[in-house]
Amino acid sequence: MAGTDRRHAKAQAAEFASTGGPAIILVRPQLGENIGTAARAMLNCGLMDLRIVAPRDGWPNVKALKAASGADAVIGRVRLFDTVAEAVAELNMVYATTARGREMVKPVLTARKAAANMRQNTATKAGILFGPERSGLDNDDVVFADAIIEVPLNPAFASLNLAQAVLIASYEWYSASCETVPERLPTGRSSAARKEEILSFFNMIEGELASRGFYPTPAMRPKMTRNMRNLFMRLNLSQQDVQSLYGIVKTLANTPPSGKP
């Protein structure tokens, strides 16, 4: 569909760049064309923050630029990361898009509900994870998410290509009402923790547990680690919560079993 007013394109891109919105995070995308069409879908809906994790064909990608069909403002701002952990580090809220069941206990929302949540929590920086075209996100990607986004579609054919999935999530955010009253943290509660703060805590507690023989076998460690991370992710930790947990674990780690210094 045509309809872009080229006279205002640059001004609108600058305006949208300052209005926030979720980061769109493409995890290990395979085709440059899909990255480009995803960027085009983002700009259709006023989103500018495109992050790419370990693209198969490297970056920059000429095919991505061509497929973006004028969404140069998004392609030109792409940030490249080696891991999902790095891509979500400064975010407070992360959603994972998947149509497959997971052995994880996480809230499951429609794209519309997730968009409403993001609009209400304007002080919270959010991101949405999209997996590789062939296989989607794996469990080690989903563990970074606070909630899962599912799009209700024909159960006999629910598969979406990458750009379609990005467009649906972006459109729901764009069309969500801005008139809802922003949700506020309870009085006395500090700001939501960034993912890098939570991941740092995970690394510390997992290291302490490993040094004390918590994991029965090396083969069981990945699943036990994911379960533990999901437990903490469901708590919607604040920065103060993470600092308190740090203190608790450090104290326990430095205290002999007898409880005496």
Residue 23 has a CB neighbour count (10 Å cut-off) of: 21
Per-residue pLDDT reduced to its tens digit, 231-250: 998 888 999 999 999 899 98
Cα(66)–Cα(79) distance, integer angstroms: 18
Tell which wins on pLDDT, 101 or 161. Answer: 161
- Compute the half-sphere exposure of residue 138: CA atoms within 13 Å on the CB side of its CA: 8
Q: What pLDDT score does 17 carry?
A: 46
Per-residue pLDDT reduced to its tens digit, 16-40: 444 579 999 999 999 999 999 999 9
Q: What pLDDT score does 186 carry?
A: 53
Q: State the alpha helices, DSSP H only, in 79-161.
A: 84-87, 111-120, 139-142
- Cα–Cα separations (whole angstroms), residue 176 to 17, 90, 112, 144, 172: 18, 24, 7, 25, 6
Per-residue pLDDT reduced to its tens digit, 186-233: 555 578 899 999 999 999 999 999 999 999 999 999 999 999 998 998
Q: What pLDDT score does 101 carry?
A: 58
Per-residue pLDDT reduced to its tens digit, 127-146: 999 999 888 899 999 999 99
Q: Is residue 6 predicted with pLDDT exceeding 60? A: no
Q: What pLDDT score does 98 carry?
A: 84
pTM of structure: 0.78
Start-to-end CA distance of the chain, whole Å, equals 71
Q: Which domains does the chain have, with CATH numbers?
A: 6-175 (3.40.1280.10), 195-253 (no CATH)
Q: What pLDDT score does 14 carry?
A: 46
Cα(203)–Cα(117) distance, integer angstroms: 29
Among 16, 36, 57, which residue's Cα sits nearest to residue 162?
A: 36
Name the helix (H) or strand (E) containing 93: strand 93-97
Q: What pLDDT score does 156 carry?
A: 87
Exposure string (b/e) for 139-159, b if CB count within 10 Å is 16 or more? eebbbbbbbbbbbeeeeeeee
Tell which wins on pLDDT, 44 or 181. Answer: 44
